[in-house]
Amino acid sequence: MSNLDNSNSPSNYNNGYYNIGSMILIGCCMVSSWIFIQRWGQRNKVGPKTWPLIGAAVEQLMNFDNMHDWLVEYLSKSKTVVVPMPFTTYTYIADPANVEHVLKTNFANYPKGEVYQSYMEVLLGNGIFNADGESWRKQRKTASFEFASKNLRDFSTVVFREYSLKLFTLLSQASFQNRSVDMQELLMRMTLDSICKVGFGVEIGTLAPHLPENAFARAFDTANIIVTLRFIDPLWKVKKFLNVGSEALLTQSMKIIDDFTYSVIRRRKAEIEEAKTDSNNTKMKHDILSRFIELGEDPDNDTTEKSLRDIVLNFVIAGRDTTATTLSWGIYMIMTHEDVAEKLYLELKSIEEERANEEKVELIDCDIEDPVSFNKRVSQFADLLTYDSLSKLYYLHAVITETLRLYPAVPQDPKGILEDDILPDGTKVKAGGMVTYVPYSMGRMEYNWGPDAAAFKPERWLKDGFFQNASPFKFTAFQAGPRICLGKDSAYLQMKMALAILCRFYKFKLVQGHPIKYRMMTILSMAHGLKLTVSRCS
């Protein structure tokens, strides 16, 4: 009988090897062709190198720690840069026309998006900074009314003055003891205390003289860092499911945050109810939480404790890190530009004398070697700073704005894409991808600001001594269009109050050898803090 099974014959082995080799060869040719096509297609385009499957991930990861400056390099050559990634494509834009299209003209096509919301939901919930659609519109309408309230403005002015003076006292002690301080850490404490007072109506005391640890503050910082890391951690959902690593720490932190927040909400609700039954209680609370609790009593308003929690935490995260970061970069810019420091000092001296004349008060003698008289003079100056007098400090306003131009608190802001679209410059964007406008790069582009774009020059914002705004689609530190920041005026108020008091009576000097570099996070904070020494001036 003949053997019909020839599967083990040498010829079949050879055929098998031939087929496998052919498949490998064809595969290599296909990959090579794909790479050639991609490289050929990109020969006249500006952007990072891309590879099969992983896109530009290699170059982006290699430049992660200095990504903002990495983007500056590309966007200085092209106003739009496309960066393919493994699961999506990022389109970075720095042209005001493209920014206006995304943030205003075709606003509905560029929401926060499900990807961004999934990262931030644990901390921001469905609050105004994480919401889209009708939920966002409803919150925006209510918040817009509240931020326009004179009561909130006056309450905020008092709070910002109070905590600026607390910061001043800590710096005064450091100056008399010849100690260096980490200004960024102190500013983070000041803004957290301030926003909790304005937002919750409670004193958490992180700026107390001994700089105590605070469970809520520590948990809030930890949660903020971890949700930011989700943007670059492809395994965060696995960690969350298994409750391990950073996600386990996030869960612990959120419990502390929520326990504190809900306890404050319930206590405030009880205080409001008690006030209704006490005819002698005429004291009205003007913090944001109290106002939203009162608005929630309307039968047509479906406010819950969860929605109140989301509202307050959204304002805390927006009003704390952004303001402290801007103040840190502002102080760094002032102390490294002597001409700016001198002009600012003269403006502050001038407003002090003007307000003293208006109020018909005699200025206290300022002996910088005597802590008592020195601190009394500072307190007197702070009392002269009102909302209206601060609004006359045009050079100070320009200094802050110029700081935000070069060091925007939010250096990148990604938006989802609902439907395919074409940007004004002809760039095609696909549904499911992301478009990111880049304030950090926009402020450094000569095609936006002229040949001196990289220079710190507050005078660019002044005309005949008065402050002049730029288009919000060119100066994007506060976003633009329907989502333009509602807290812009409040942020300027706090920053002007703090800098007016500090820069009128102090000079700052960077600790020798201290490195200044940004940390790659959602907020443009300083990676190593801002360590400096303080000297007094009269």
Phi-psi category of 414—alpha, beta or left, where left has phi over 0 and alpha has psi -120 to 50? Answer: beta
Tell me if 349 sits within 8 A of 504, measured CB to CB. yes
Residue with tokens 């990111």: 436
CA angle 197, 200, 202 (to 5 degrees): 55
Q: What three-state secondary structure class fits 512?
A: coil
Residues 6+ apart with CB under 8 A from 146: 152, 288, 291, 292
> Does the annotation flag 485 for ligand binding?
yes
Q: Where are the beta strands (DSSP E) in 244-398?
A: none
Antiparallel, parallel or unpaired: β 428-429 and 421-422: antiparallel
Total number of residues shown for the chain: 538
The 3-state secondary structure of 209-249 reads CCCCCCHHHHHHHHHHHHHHHCCCCCCHHHHHHHCCHHHHH
- Cβ atoms 107, 429 nearer than 8 A: no
Q: How many CA atoms lie within 13 A of 338 on its CB side?
A: 1
CA 459 to chain centre: 25
Cα of first residue to Cα of last residue in the chain, in angstroms, is 115
Give the side-chain half-sphere CA count within 13 A for 285. Answer: 23
Give the bridge partners for 429, in sequence order: 421
> Rounded to the nearest 5°, which phi and psi values hold at 445?
-85, 125
Q: Enter the tokens of residue 31.
A: 């990959």
8 phi and psi angles, rounded to 5 deg: -100, 10
Are the C-beta atoms of 287 and 316 separated by less than 8 Å?
no
Could you please report the per-residue DSSP string of 406-426? Answer: HS-SS--EEEE-SS-EE-TTS
d(CA 317, CA 435): 23
d(CA 48, CA 74): 8
Secondary structure of residue 443 in the 3-state scheme = coil
Q: Are the C-beta atoms of residues 512 and 340 closer than 8 Å to each other? A: no
Note whether 206 and 214 are within 8 A (CB): yes
Q: Which residues are annotated as a binding site for heme?
A: 485
Q: Which residues are annotated as a binding site?
A: 485
